[in-house]
Chains A and B, each alone.
Chain A
Amino acid sequence: MSHSLHRSGDIESQKKDFVWFMYQTKGVNDKNIKPKMMVYINAAERQGSENWGDVKTGPITRFDPQDIKDHITDKSRIRGVFTKPEQVIGFLKEVKEADIDQSCIITGVFSEVIPCCHAAGVTPHSINYSLGVWGNKGILPDEDTLAITTMCGHHMIPPKFVEYIIDQVDKGRMTPQEGADRLSTFCYCGIFNQVRCADLIAEDVEKRRNKKDE
């Protein structure tokens, strides 16, 4: 799975977007992991992780965080989102200190993520580098839509629903943040960045209005 890897859109916007994961290795350290997951969740909550979830239950934007915690099993996968480097640094320091043998991953723009690693005293081991999209790109939605839909790398967010939300915001029926929160419920993993999404929706609506005025 590489669902946090290939986010697109303006790089400056991507710089405010960090995905964190805890990952167990099958057959090595994947039993009785709920206490370890709680270490990660507690650290993420202390740092103000804007969204997080377990794919087996869903994200905090749709479910009560306590419900998600109560339903954690060895098959769970927890992950979430930060929007600021300080959060990433604090989170990494805390999970390093806890020393609980689980793999930890941060996805984001290298110019932001690598300095966070240095500041937290952790050393990158391996990287899955995003080389972007190849092939028949003419069949894809426009770049503005992709900047939103790729925040759920499993592509659970239908492009037509993004169009619908932008239309609703444009008509004043919801705010950009309400639209972003609604879109975040499609991503069961909890890695959708609804803070960044609200900014993108506001920009898209402005573009649309400017186009109408032309």
Chain B
Amino acid sequence: MAQIISEKCVGCRQCQKYCSVDAIKYDAEKRKCYIASDECVDCYVCMRQHVCPRDAIQPVEMDYYQQFCHTMSDPCENHGVTGVTGRGTEEVKTNDVTGRVKKGRVGFCIDVGRPGAGCRFYDVEKIAMAIAAAGVKLEGPECTPLAALMTDVSTGKLQDEVLNYRTLSVIIEGNCADEDFPNVMRALQKVSGEIETVFSLGLIMRVDENGYNPNLEALDDLGIPRPYRGKVNVGLGKPLCLD
């Protein structure tokens, strides 16, 4: 968590345009800037850019959940268990070696709060529980950071204490059998109308040499446009998983 030391702030407001989520406010009466702690996502952009001429922006001690939010919001941090920077997961990037998403399965990479909107964990829980109920097997804590906050990975239920915390974005990961794919997509369509924030959706699949997987056909029936861009793992990792 960051704060602006009021005694040092000269009210120049230079820092405000450096906040990724508009959490730096200006108190016109006091002529000082301050960070709205309930909105700050601890991304540390304001500190890394050294924006304050008086060095008034300082980190403050964080509790366990704030530390988690900071690790998710700041891509320079490695997640403690997965060891991965960014949002803390390898997802498709090493699927040629890990085989996390195999033939006959569809992987879900749901980046809640992206792009740049931020999210509260009660929205994250809603989405996780919706897809788990529709047939997604959520990833465990060895693969994805969010699982460490779940009381039950089979349902997606999160610890009650974290629900009101806010982070820049956090990824829900899991996979389902091909036959459950349309049902999960319908669940996502429904829950997308029930949340305060946004999510960016990635679907991970094994593909043929032309980058095709037959599950894409199901999108047409659901009225979802076919994807035109993606992250292509070109299969150079070893040992190569062909499952």
Contact = CB atoms under 8 A, between A and B. Distances in A.
Interface of chain B, helix or strand or loop or mixed?
loop
Interface in B186-216: 188-189, 192-193, 195-211, 213, 216
Contacts of B169: 155
Nearest to B101: A126
B129 interface: no
Contact of A114 (B85, B107, B210): B210
A191 to B, nearest CB: 10
Contacts of B1: none
Residue picked from B43, B115, B200, B209, most chain A C-beta under 10 Å: B115
B228 A21 contact: no
Contact of B201 (A14, A25, A131): A131
Nearest to B46: A158
Interface in A61-113: 75, 77, 92, 95-96, 99, 101-111, 113
B115 A6 contact: yes
A3 interface: yes
Contacts of B159: none
B45 A150 contact: no
Given A117-B234, A134-B188, A135-B195, A103 B87 contact: no
A76 to B, nearest CB: 9
B223 interface: no
Contact of B87 (A3, A108, A127, A157): A3
A2 B116 contact: no
A26 B235 contact: no
Contact of B232 (A8, A28, A96, A117): A117
Contact of B117 (A11, A56, A139): A139
B237 A102 contact: yes
Given A1-B89, A55-B85, A55-B86, A102 B236 contact: yes
A154 B98 CA distance: 24
A51 interface: no
Contacts of A192: none
Contacts of B89: 1
A141 B92 contact: no
Contacts of B65: none
B84 A1 contact: yes
- Chain B interface category by residue count: 35 or more
B192 to A, nearest CB: 4
A129 B203 contact: yes
A103 B76 CA distance: 21
A103 B83 contact: no
Nearest to B241: A125
B109 interface: yes
Interface of B: 16-20, 22, 43, 45, 48-49, 75-76, 78, 82-98, 101, 107, 109, 111, 114-117, 168-169, 171, 188-189, 192-193, 195-211, 213, 216, 224-225, 227-240
Given A1-B90, A136-B195, 9 more contacts: A3-B75, A26-B90, A106-B231, A110-B232, A124-B235, A126-B206, A127-B230, A130-B227, A155-B20
Interface of A: 1-8, 11, 14, 21, 23-26, 28-30, 55-56, 75, 77, 92, 95-96, 99, 101-111, 113-114, 117-118, 122-137, 139-141, 146, 149-150, 153-161, 163-164, 185-186, 188-189
27 contacts: A1-B87, A3-B86, A6-B202, A26-B82, A28-B97, A28-B98, A56-B76, A75-B85, A77-B86, A103-B95, A103-B236, A104-B237, A105-B232, A105-B234, A107-B231, A124-B211, A124-B232, A125-B240, A127-B230, A128-B107, A129-B227, A133-B200, A137-B198, A155-B20, A158-B22, A188-B48, A188-B76
